[in-house]
Amino acid sequence: MHFAQYYLDCLSQASYLIGDKTTGRAVLVDPRRDIDDYLHDAEAAGLRIELVIETHVHADFLSGHLELARATGATIAFGEAAETGFPIRRLRDGERLSLGADDDQGVTLTVLATPGHTLESICLVLREHPDDDVPFGVLTGDTLFVGDVGRPDLLSAAGHTPQDMAARLHRSLHTKLLTLPDATRVFPAHGAGSACGRSLSSETSSTIGDQRRFNYALQPMPVDDFIRLVTAGQPATPGYFAHDAALNRDGHPLLEPGPPPALTLDEALAARDQQGAVLLDCRPLAAYTRAHLTGSLHTSLDTRFAEYAGSVVTPGTPIVLLTDPGTEQEARLRLARIGYDHVLGHLPDPAAVLDRSPALSSRSRRIRYEELGLREPQLAGAAGTDGARTGGTEPADPIPTDSLPTDFLPTDSPPTDSVPADIQLIDVRNPAEYEAGALPGARNLPLAGLSHRLAELDPSRPVVLYCRSGNRSVIAAALLEARGFADVCDVIGGYDAVGTGAQ
């Protein structure tokens, strides 16, 4: 058997190439849109990709089933309940897919219908030989993760309540997956950082036995308790999820390779003013906060670039990239992985452009926590588990002391329990992070849904934003400034910077 896992850190997404070396027949499960690695590895191993299997209609990335079908002639397959806008093979519960010369030999996959995350969700039990008592493993899609289970409330399950989907998920877990031997390896579709669950592990594989023992959602409990548990505290859904689910279900244009064209500053500004394009600054956080084109949005390539871009840029919006030299193709590809194909071009070397055009440049306004004049809160798990979705995955934030605004200066006043009444203090972390501990007087408006909730804020009053470490808050500040909020700053270092001695 040939078995390979492809893990994409920036989207916490896993895909799998499975083949029978004797016959050369292979399947690819949950592929991403850029397929060159799969094709290269299949050719090197002497494999023919005959079938592309999607464990469900994905919402968090644009899948590569259409690209692979064009490149290889492979058939696209989904679970029997899937409704798509293109021809598919429907896989029935219990169906066996043999990659051998006949059904009695060779690598075999058995389909398990496991509704819960979505109606059409399936898992695939993998055996090197059809009669193996203990399977090699099970590809669990978004039904079971390492340390978590799939969330039951995404838009791809529209028309059914989260409670109904959670009940289906419980049945799928207990009547299908947990009946497998403990030694069966678990290979999920996502890991830590994904918004498809609440507390995914950074491990990319496990076993049924370990998950039975250690996964919080698989512990013995009444069904009603399970439903309450898995429907509470889920991360905010990024705005692009519904867009991607629709494209993965109905069909989408094929990925076009190549770097975006270079634009002059005048061309970039004309695209903004005449075509409604957003200027998306992809440089590292420190470079952006030091100087950026006024009104530009920000998300850095050294973090969860595509997910954060999909949280602040409306699907279908034209985009002009502001990138460090040599990174424009990476930025375009990572946007394409979530279906953001409308990239008009890129502005080469933004730092040099800003040096030549200081009148078009702005500096981010940032403050230290101490300057808010608040007492240190009693921190209850301030940072969460590093890398888990409750805390996000944010790089350490350098403290550019020369960027502090002059109107937020330390005072000799004693600490208080709340910020002044005219300041809007906004926590842009996910709900579970906020509930574990927040700054006094802060409101929770998660970054993923912030662009749809700006009407809840008063643009005439100062806004102070914070997250866990200072990354998401800069992204949020850029969004507010682009939408006309004049008095915005964020807290350097975020909640992690708040009195570590109180933890």
Q: What pLDDT digit, counting tens, does each position of 269-304 carry?
A: 999 999 999 999 999 999 999 999 999 999 999 999
C-beta of residue 143 within 8 angstroms of C-beta of residue 123:
yes
412: pLDDT confidence band, cut at 50, 70 and 90? low
Between strands 144-145 and 443-444, the pairing is: unpaired
DSSP 235: P
Q: What is the pLDDT of residues 421-452, one digit of tens each?
A: 889 999 999 998 999 999 989 999 999 999 99
Question: b vs e for 360-372, b when ≥16 Cβ sit within 10 Å of the residue's Cβ?
Answer: bbeebbbbebebb
The mean pLDDT value for 149-166 works out to: 84
* 467: annotated active-site residue: yes
Q: Sign of the CA dihedral 194, 199, 201, 206? A: negative
Q: Which two tokens stand for residue 47?
A: 């494999």
Contact 41, 17 (CB under 8 A): yes
User: How far is 418 from 19, CA to CA, in rounded Å?
Assistant: 60
Residue with tokens 């496991």: 114
DSSP state of 4: E
Q: Are 306 and 238 in contact (CB under 8 A)?
A: no
Q: Give 487's contacts (C-beta < 8 A, 6+ positions apart).
A: 461, 462, 463
Beta-strand runs (E) in 351-469: 361-362, 366-367, 424-427, 443-444, 463-466
- Alpha-carbon dihedral angle through residues 230, 235, 238, 242, given to the nearest 10 degrees: 10
* Geometric angle at alpha carbon 338, from 334 and 342, rounded to 5°: 80
Weakest-pLDDT range from 110-114, 284-288, 324-328, 498-502: 498-502
Q: What's residue 397's pLDDT?
A: 42
Catalytically annotated residue among 10, 282, 467, 489? 467
Closest Cα partner for 485 from 295, 331, 321? 295
